[in-house]
Amino acid sequence: MKKSRIAVIGLGEFGTILVRQLFDAGHEVVAIDRDMGRVEGAVSSSTDAVCLDSTDREAVAAQELEDFDAVIIALSDFEALISTANLLRELEVPHIMARYQSRLEYKILRMLGVTELFNPDDQAARSMVQQLTHQGALDRLIIHGPYRIAEVVVPESLIGQSLSDCGLRLKFNLNLVTLRRHNERSDSEAEEPPVLGVPYGDTKLEAGDIMILFGKQKDIQAFLEETG
């Protein structure tokens, strides 16, 4: 995994979680906020924690953010968000990502030239809709566009069948990445079932197996509806 230098501006609840998860993932993370209490709270979960006003040109310029792989703006205050985004553009920071919370913020950020925008609430809602829509799927990861990786408990209708008989590729246009299967040493519900590796066509599906599938969302849905 490539280790990136990332700055996160704004240490509210979302920004603090983001800093910690990026740091835990092995990235070099600089946490920035104008509130000293929040900055002190991020010291142990970041490479560096800096207290400054992100609308102060001199203070921000001193951080040399133009050399970072990404700068993420996670500010909830409207004026601070827009001013910070505009300042980073003026300082020619090449990779800016910004959280927006309203259509107005989205439009203004776009006008400023910030194109990588995200709304965590919107993304969480979309994820919940997908979970409710894909009732048979335990989890999904969006790869690009319509493609997903989904964890699916083997439907009862397929128990005892071999992988080659399931028609995953020919009938549903899906690829099986691997299988997770409980064994005598993984009976605890807290333990994640071990991965079998690369399953062969003659591998028979057992009750409780978890299939890791790759394909388009519509094909995963068709598989769940037909076999569920």
Domain CATH number, residue 101: 3.40.50.720
Residue 37, burial from CB neighbour count under 10 angstroms (0-12, 13-18, 19+): exposed
Tell me, yes or no, whether 220 and 181 share the same domain. yes
Tell me, yes or no, whether 82 and 178 share the same domain. no
Angle between helix axes 78-90 and 103-111 (nearest 10 degrees) is 20
pLDDT digits (tens, 9 = 90+) for 199-221: 888 899 998 888 888 888 889 88
Q: Which of 98, 118, 138 is the last residue of a domain?
A: 118
Tell me, yes or no, whether 14 and 93 share the same domain. yes
Q: Which of 49, 83, 118 is the last residue of a domain?
A: 118
Over the chain, what is the mean pLDDT?
86
pTM greater than 0.75 = no
Q: Which of 118, 149, 175 is the last residue of a domain?
A: 118
Average pLDDT over residues 10-18: 94
Tell me, yes or no, whether 83 and 137 share the same domain. no
Could you give the number of structural domains in the chain?
2
Q: Where in the sequence is the domain holding 77, given as residue range(s)?
A: 5-118
Tell me, yes or no, whether 111 and 155 share the same domain. no
Tell me, yes or no, whether 133 and 212 share the same domain. yes
Q: Radius of gyration over alpha carbons of the chain, in Å?
A: 23
Residue 189 DSSP code = T
Q: Structure tokens of 128?
A: 């919940």
Strand order in the sheet with 147-153: 137-142, 147-153, 210-216, 175-180
Residue 228 DSSP code = -
pLDDT digits (tens, 9 = 90+) for 154-194: 888 999 999 989 889 889 999 888 888 876 444 444 455 67
Tell me, yes or no, whether 79 and 59 share the same domain. yes
Which pLDDT belongs to residue 130?
58
